[in-house]
Structure 1
């Protein structure tokens, strides 16, 4: 990192902390003690109101907040931002209704001619392949803010199971069920948005497809304290199947392990046993069709060990496919 760039970042760092030590600067910017001392002198020459506190618990203090210069980005950061924006192209639904087109236009208009030419050259040298968003999710902003603000909401959820009345058609619409949930985080995968949440109706952690969430409303229910500090990574370790859940085990090869890393769910994991790797997990009784379609995507890279019913269901799935050929 160039010194001028480090000075700019250091100004923002100390302006936010107000109190700091040499060790803070050394750790944050990966510099030596001698360099940190020189940088502090340079900051003082730039007019930063830094006060030294001596003693065992001493350090540096900023006497007052500073008026900072506008944020600037180096070439590498600009390229990284452009790459990050490409992820927006696939989604027609985004929190806060941001769109790729308007963000892209503002980004490009702020660039110099040289930077704009660099971006154009990148666009013609790199191909971005995306899974297009399959269904719109109208309540993303509501769900995200419910997670951020730690509130309990009531939703109507269309679980996608076909009702008895609908079995004669190809429709997968079912009657919405009212659920009370405390959202934790959102994520996008394979063309869908998902909401990780604690389901107060079921007293368990669950994942909801956002496009199936209808009419969300804030409730007066007190949020659960132990949910407040959770994030998306935490929920995977907290997943617990219901008492009706059916455990499964599949032997999996290296190709299958790569597929697992691309797409899997909180109720699944890989386990090593006797020099073999297994895909293990559980599914609810009503999720049999879902788990069969998911495992079919592994092709010959997995072999179901148990239960027998799941093996029979997957075999029947393949037979049905053959009958359509």
Structure 2
């Protein structure tokens, strides 16, 4: 086997094994231990993070994250990958902030000069506009990791200008919309699914009380909520075509929407009575694009908000 091919396969092998002994690799590749030791030294010089342990049970181990083997990209693929990462630059917070910046820098620096020139020219001709938002979302990585591991978190959440501590949630996932990050999660306080603004989550740690996680294997960001709301009230509203488009842009609301062939739509679902202030804010903002028919408590809350707004402009 040519040395270059052996090094490539060796890199993939140590990434897969993570922990190994030299003799194991020598037997697997059919070479001497001395050859494997030289190859491992070369991999270390190439950036594969290895360290050795002495003793009868020692060996080699890959530390930190695994290093992927070289991947050949076409020019078009490389440009597409560059701009896929470049598109995220408007977000003040990212789950992999440092890693995305590092990946973008590697793509750019290792491209031929003419490809870099092409990218430099395109930077000022194409953009993925996202509203700039003040504040950061420091817990994105913790929320994403908890969603993957199906862990319960204890969070500190800012709501209405007040800090709410020890709220237990089990994240389903995170998503970005209109410059903000959101986390869909099961809330143990409300006993149902809720959507949290990530920039309002100031702390997120594994629940010290050891709350048993729920089985959320069938839950996903775009799927309807699967838990019954507490103290439900029936929400009925009709929407214009513009109202439907605005509701479709809200991931938490889209599953509740019944769109019609002419583009208009309606909502006829149970919602938690505790969420009426939130829905009042939302539907008041839709203006003439929505008409809430029920419940009366929601209609009254909307009238109150509109009266306060009218008073301000007298």
- Mapping 1:43-122, distance limit 5 Å: 70-98=70-98, 102-122=102-122
| Deviation of 1:131 (Å) | 2.0
Deviations 1:87-114 (A, max 9, x none): 3222222224337655443332122222
Note if contact 2:176-2:182 (Cα within 8 Å) is conserved in structure 1: yes
- Mapping 1:172-211, distance limit 5 Å: 172-211=160-199
Note if contact 1:154-1:216 (Cα within 8 Å) is conserved in structure 2: yes
What is the rounded CA distance, in whole Å, between the counterparts of 1:224 and 1:265 in structure 2?
22
Partner of 2:200 in structure 1? 212
Partner of 2:246 in structure 1? 259
- Residue 221 of structure 1 aligns to a residue whose secondary structure is coil
Decide which of 277, 298, 306 is 2:294's aligned counterpart.
Answer: 306
Following TM superposition, where does structure 1 have runs of at least 4 consecutive aligned residues deviating by more than 4 angstroms?
99-103, 272-276
Gap change, CA 1:76 and 1:246, over 3 Å in 2: farther
What is the rounded CA distance, in whole Å, between the counterparts of 1:257 and 1:121 in structure 2?
38
Note if contact 1:239-1:266 (Cα within 8 Å) is conserved in structure 2: no
RMSD: 3.4
Deviations 1:183-224 (A, max 9, x none): 221112233322222233443223222233344332473754
| Deviation of 1:130 (Å) | 0.7
Partner of 1:296 in structure 2? 284
Note if contact 2:182-2:196 (Cα within 8 Å) is conserved in structure 1: yes
Provide the TM-score with structure 2 as the length reference: 0.66
Partner of 2:154 in structure 1? 154
Note if contact 1:268-1:280 (Cα within 8 Å) is conserved in structure 2: no
Gaps of 5+ in 1: 1-11, 17-67, 161-171
Partner of 2:216 in structure 1? 227
Stretch moving more, 266-275 or 128-137: 266-275
| Deviation of 1:270 (Å) | 1.7
Gap change, CA 1:207 and 1:117, over 3 Å in 2: same
Gap change, CA 1:223 and 1:230, over 3 Å in 2: farther
Gaps of 5+ in 2: 1-8, 14-67
Note if contact 2:248-2:254 (Cα within 8 Å) is conserved in structure 1: no
Note if contact 1:268-1:281 (Cα within 8 Å) is conserved in structure 2: no
1:143 correspondence with 2:123: no
1:246 correspondence with 2:246: no
- Residue 249 of structure 1 aligns to a residue whose secondary structure is strand
Note if contact 2:229-2:270 (Cα within 8 Å) is conserved in structure 1: no
| Deviation of 1:274 (Å) | 11
What is the rounded CA distance, in whole Å, between the counterparts of 1:273 and 1:115 in structure 2?
48
